[in-house]
Amino acid sequence: MNAPSMKLKILLVDDHAVVRAGYRTLLDDVPGLEIIGEADNGEVAVKMFVELNPDVAIMDLSLPGIGGLEAIRRIVQRRHDARILAFSMHEDTVFVEQALQAGARGYITKSSAPNVLVEAVRQVAAGGMYLDPDVAQRLAFQKTRGASSPMAGLSTREFEIFCLLAEGETVNDIAKRLSLSGKTVANYATQIKSKLDVNTVAEIARLAIRHGFVKV
């Protein structure tokens, strides 16, 4: 990591160029922060993180290719001290838990105020954890009530495949996307159905829509 007197170097990962441009403008205006690279998909994000060794990666979860969760996991496998801030439109606590399980050090939503993003970047860069205050409150409330989403019991890999199946991806499509064998993905799909007590991919899609994971 860089010396404290130097600027914090940031890798920005989002598949929308307009979004990246907006956040680059915001962060470049903050003293002590510098965007050193941008990536528009998961594979490029992993490659650039290893090459550039940023202090923090700001990672969207909804990415083409391997996706944000898998990108986080691959980065952490290569760099155990990687500091990644998940930055997503998803406010459901399941996404938060999955991102943290994959290795993210923080989670904020795209509806967060600019000062929240800046604070999160600095805290994660310093080795801390950061959760969007609204997200943290929902997590605490959920734990107090003992309630959880049916998807909370899925592993990070199962959850990612669940989302892809719900979006209409075939087993072969998912296998190519995640660099897995078709048999492995099919086995995951069977485990997912068993854990969620559903029998078909159509039921998986309906469950995802009902919980707001897939827009219709």
Give the end of a domain, one of 120, 143, 166: 143
Instruction: Let me know whether 133 and 155 are in one domain.
Output: no
* pTM for this prediction: 0.81
Side chain identity at 158, as an amino acid letter?
A: E
Side chain identity at 58, as an amino acid letter?
A: I
Close Cβ partners of 201 (under 8 Å, ≥ 6 residues apart): 165, 189
77: pLDDT strictly greater than 50: yes
Q: Is residue 216 part of a domain?
A: no
- Each residue's pLDDT tens digit, 121-141: 999 999 999 998 888 887 776
Pick from 97, 118, 39, 117: which is nearest to 71 by CA? Answer: 39
Rounded Cα distance between 187 and 165, Å, is: 13
Q: Is residue 171 part of a domain?
A: yes
Instruction: Let me know whether 26 and 119 are in one domain.
Output: yes
The confidence band for 73, taking pLDDT boundaries of 50, 70 and 90, is: very high
Q: Is residue 79 part of a domain?
A: yes
- Each residue's pLDDT tens digit, 174-205: 998 888 899 999 999 999 999 999 999 999 99
pLDDT for residue 216: 57
The domain that holds 190 is classified in CATH as: 1.10.10.10
pLDDT for residue 3: 47
Q: How many domains does the chain have?
A: 2
Q: In the block, which residue shows the tokens 């995640």?
A: 178
Return mean pLDDT, the chain. Answer: 89
Q: How many CB atoms lie within 10 A of CB 146?
A: 6
Close Cβ partners of 84 (under 8 Å, ≥ 6 residues apart): 56, 57, 59, 72, 75, 76, 103, 104, 105, 106, 124
The domain that holds 86 is classified in CATH as: 3.40.50.2300
Rounded Cα distance between 185 and 88, Å, is: 25
The confidence band for 94, taking pLDDT boundaries of 50, 70 and 90, is: confident
Instruction: Let me know whether 52 and 87 are in one domain.
Output: yes
152: pLDDT strictly greater than 90: no
pLDDT for residue 175: 92
Say if CB 92 and CB 99 are below 8 A apart. no
Instruction: Let me know whether 98 and 161 are in one domain.
Output: no
Task: Return the CA Rg of the chain.
Answer: 17
CA distance to 98, 137, 213, per residue, from 160 (Å): 9, 24, 11
Residue 66 is part of which domain span? 8-143
- Each residue's pLDDT tens digit, 21-64: 999 999 989 999 999 999 999 999 999 999 999 999 999 998 88
